[in-house]
Amino acid sequence: MPKQSINLLVSKEEDTPLLRRLKKIFPIISAISLFLFLTLFIISIAYTNSNIKQFTALKNEVDQYEKKIMNQKNTEGIYSLTVTDLNVLTQILSKSKNFSPILAELDKMRSSFILLDGASVDSKGNLSVSLTASDSAALNKFVEDLTDLEETKHLYSGIEAYGIARDKKGKYQMSISLKANPSLFQ
């Protein structure tokens, strides 16, 4: 058998002028593209870092304002509660009666010998008074003045005295209940 040889190498063909030109231009284009990419990438990183600094400064400022707001929340809550309470009190006071004239009439009858220990009035005009008199004459005068107001001016009615007692110092303590004329507290 005769020997045969097979050539496995392909013979080299000559490059076309276009291909030679492209082989020279593509490395230059890729180097320029890489340079542009790296430049833009570095610029974007620098821009992002500067924005991060601005963002951090802005975030710190927002945090400070939030802390101030948190500190003011309690004050604001107290303020809101106070405003609500004042509104409720205003509504109650606008609906309630003025009892000052009733107590003013009693205060006019007071003297240096009579001490008013306490007085209370309900919404119907029922008045309870506790007093201390230095002696029985002062107590009698107070009772006479009160009955005079009942009979002449018709300011009070239904006067009842109870709990009259004399203490160790000789002073008289007494409680009186009466009904005030509605014209006094309207």
pLDDT in tens, 63-84: 999 988 888 877 777 888 888 8
**What global pTM score does this model have?**
0.44
156 pLDDT higher than 80: no
| Contact present, 107 and 129 (Cβ < 8 Å) | no
Residue 92 has pLDDT above 80, yes or no: no
Q: What per-residue confidence (pLDDT) applies to 96?
A: 59
Nearest to residue 180, comparing CAs of 157, 159, 160, 161? Answer: 157
Kind and range of the H or E element at 136?
helix 136-148
102 pLDDT exceeds 70? no
| pLDDT (average), residues 119-133 | 82
Is there a contact between 139 and 129 (Cβ–Cβ < 8 Å)?
Answer: no
Which sequence spans correspond to the domains of the chain? 17-96, 100-185
- Given a cut of 70, whether residue 95 has pLDDT beyond it is no
CA distance 61 to 24: 56
In this model, does residue 145 exceed pLDDT 70? yes
Pick 100-185's CATH classification: 3.10.129.10, 3.30.420.10, 3.65.10.10, 3.30.1360.100. 3.30.1360.100
Q: CA 86, CA 92: separation in Å to the nearest integer?
A: 10
The model's confidence at residue 45, banded by pLDDT at 50, 70 and 90, is very high
Q: What is the mean pLDDT of the chain?
A: 83
- For residues 141 and 103, the answer to whether their CB atoms sit within 8 Å is no
What does the DSSP assignment read for 77-116? HHHHHHHHHHHHHHHHHHHS---HHHHHHHHHH--TTEEE
